[in-house]
Amino acid sequence: MFRIDDPTAAVSLPTPGAAGTPGYFTEGNPLAGQGATIVTPDWANMVQEELCNLVTAAGLTLAKNTFTQIRDAVKAIVRDSLPSYAADTGSANAYACTLSPAPAAYVDGMKIRIKIANANTGASTINVNTLGNKALTKLGAVALIGGELVAGMEVEGTYDGTRVQITSAINPVLVEGPVKIVYTSTTALTIFPLPGSNAIRVAGALYPVPTTGLVIANTGVEVGGVAAQNLANSSVNDIYLKVVAGVLTPSYYVDAGGGTHRTDDTPGNVGVEVRNNGGVPDSNRSYIGKCRTNGSGQFQPATTAGLINWFKAARSNIPISGTGTSSANTASGSPTELATAARVPILTYADDAVTVMVNGDAANNSVTTCSTYVGIDGSTATSGNNSRSTSTAGGALVTAVATANQLLTEGLHTISPFGSVGSGTGTWNVLAVCNVRG
């Protein structure tokens, strides 16, 4: 389609004459004195401009040697009035698609339907047929914040002259909050969002945590920053979540004592507990808890000191008990650990007190005292929490109870029964129990 380019043509559109009585073409009737209808410049210009405007409204450029532009324009306008479908070929936050037939330009009102390949993690753009990036927004001009789009979702949008507004349903708005780690099996832990939240922040962006739980493994995972590793046997590990290709993924770091994390002060991630990389916050890894493996590198339940949660709202009381001392004895006048086999391992954070107790009975082969204590880490008996009972002649059993409420340093500890005597030899049948918050 092209405007007339004969040398006799006007260089600008003449002003049309006043409208007459509408009518129809005729070849005329000489016998009746009726002349044939004259095709006026006004009418020819009107038809020409109607056709040219149809072509340009579809985003096409008038071309003299192209004889399908009216057809292509009609198809394009019909296409733009309906959502055109294409698969996403871009990446997270930078979506792209190729529509067919290809639009020549973005046109106000153009509709697009795309199948998302990667979940978004923040503000996003879309590039249709390499025409350039346009902001992808919700609720009109509101930028996406992350998590609204998930892989496999079909999204419809309309170009408004500036951006592509999403007009279809999207993932619910993400609400940042604490998560809870739950023991599932020796090879799996499951992470759940707490009620009222559905996302966790990593590197300043929110990522959805499914209400059905995010399962993490002990093998083939990142350990110490190295991919495809297995958790070491009998190790204590800090658990982090990082993002790989838009997906939350576990990252473990061995805790040799005191933890490997710190509070982030990076803009956009301030207040999030993250990995401590030599004093520098690693915003790419958000901290969620601690686990202790067994001798085969497998997960253990919280009741055997296998797991604690970082978020206080996710912590609950965990009762842990050891084995009895089975007639352990000592003649020591100072607190002495009665049996290493009776040690109870516990995981704890420094901000939560641990309630510990030693309970059972004791006897002495002379009429003197049997003192019972709670021991910490096999060497230090806690002070001010011992029980002292006097055994009668003949070594009759007496109750042996000691309790303590302790704030311990973060990490792995043990509690165990300690005892001492005034004289003679004491014999204890006691066990250590405790209650930790995890």
Count up the domains in the chain and report the number: 3
Sign of CA dihedral 342, 322, 325, 370: positive
More confident call, 212 vs 146? 212
Q: What is the reported pLDDT for 384?
A: 52
Say which residue, 268 or 368, is predicted with more confidence.
268
**Contact of 80 with 109, CB cutoff 8 Å:** yes
- 63 lies in a domain? no
Whether residues 335 and 245 fall in one domain: no
Q: Is residue 336 located within the same domain as residue 429?
A: yes
The answer to the question of residue 87 being in a domain is: yes
In this structure, the answer to whether residues 264 and 323 fall within a common structural domain is: no
Is the residue at 76 inside a domain? no
pLDDT in tens, 278-302: 999 999 999 999 999 999 999 999 9
Pair 280, 210 in one domain: yes
* Contact predicate 103/112, CB 8 Å: no
The share of the chain scoring above pLDDT 70, in percent, equals: 94
* Residue 201 in this model has a pLDDT that exceeds 70: yes
Q: Domain boundary residue among 108, 131, 166?
A: 166
Please, which residues have CB within 8 angstroms of residue 83's CB and are 6 or more apart in sequence?
A: 111, 112, 113, 156
Mean pLDDT, residues 230-259 taken together = 93
Q: What is the mean pLDDT of residues 224-252?
A: 95
* Mean predicted confidence (pLDDT) in 3-23: 92
Mean pLDDT, residues 69-84 taken together: 77
| pLDDT value at residue 85 | 81
Residue 66 maps to a domain: no
pLDDT digits (tens, 9 = 90+) for 336-352: 999 999 999 999 999 88
Average pLDDT over residues 110-126: 90
For residues 362-372, average pLDDT: 84
Q: How many CB atoms lie within 10 A of CB 208?
A: 21
Residue range 123-177, pLDDT digits in tens: 899 999 999 999 999 878 888 877 788 889 999 999 999 999 999 888 777 789 9
pLDDT digits (tens, 9 = 90+) for 96-110: 999 887 888 999 988
**Position 55 in a domain:** no
C-alpha 323: how far from chain center? 40
Distance CA 107, CA 88 (A): 20
Q: Is residue 11 part of a domain?
A: no
Q: Categorize the per-residue pLDDT at 367 as very low, low, confident or very high, splitting at 50, 70 and 90.
A: confident
Q: Tell whether 303 and 367 lie within a shared domain.
A: no
Instruction: Answer yes or no: is pLDDT of 388 > 70.
Output: no
pLDDT > 90 fraction of the chain, expressed in percent and rounded: 58
Q: What is the mean pLDDT of residues 318-342?
A: 91
Give the residue with greater pLDDT, 422 vs 225: 225
- Nearest Cα neighbor of 348 from 381, 299, 403, 309 is 309
Q: Kindly state whether residue 8 falls inside one of the protein's structural domains.
A: no
Instruction: Give the integer Cα–Cα distance in Å for 413 and 238.
Output: 15
pTM here is 0.65
**What is the domain-level CATH number for residue 426?**
2.60.120.760
User: Within this chain, do residues 193 and 307 fall inside the same structural domain, yes or no?
Assistant: yes
pLDDT bin (cut points 50, 70, 90) of residue 251 is very high
Q: Which domain holds residue 248?
A: 181-311
Chosen domain end from 254, 279, 311:
311
Looking at residues 15-35, what average pLDDT do you find? Answer: 91
Are 232 and 160 contained in the same domain? no
Decide if pLDDT at 394 tops 60: no
Q: Residues of 224-248 as b/e, b for ≥16 C-beta within 10 angstroms?
A: eeeeeebbeeebbbbbbbbbeebeb
Lowest-pLDDT range of 56-60, 217-221, 403-407: 403-407
Quick one: 274 and 218 in the same domain? yes
Q: Give 369's pLDDT tier (boundaries 50, 70, 90).
A: confident
Q: Name the residue with higher pLDDT: 102 or 217.
A: 217
pLDDT at 132: 96
Decide which of 311, 338, 363 is a domain's last residue.
311
* pLDDT average, residue stretch 235-242: 98
The amino acid at residue 342 is: A
What are the residues whose beta carbons fall under 8 Å from the beta carbon of 320, sequence distance 6 or more? Answer: 303, 304, 305, 344, 345, 346, 433, 434, 435, 436
Identify whether the C-beta of residue 260 lies closer than 8 Å to the C-beta of residue 252.
Answer: no
Q: Are residues 186 and 234 in the same domain?
A: yes
The larger pLDDT score, comparing residue 129 to residue 388, is at 129
Please tell me whether residues 299 and 251 are part of one structural domain: yes
pLDDT at 392 over 60: no
Residues 210 and 305 in one domain: yes
The answer on pLDDT for 381 being more than 80 is: no
For the four alpha carbons of 421, 364, 388 and 339, in that order, the dihedral sign comes to positive
pLDDT band at 330 (very low <50, low <70, confident <90, very high): very high
Whether 35 is covered by a domain: the verdict is no
Q: Is the pLDDT of residue 69 over 70?
A: yes
* pLDDT for 360 beyond 90: no
Q: 325 and 299, same structural domain? A: no
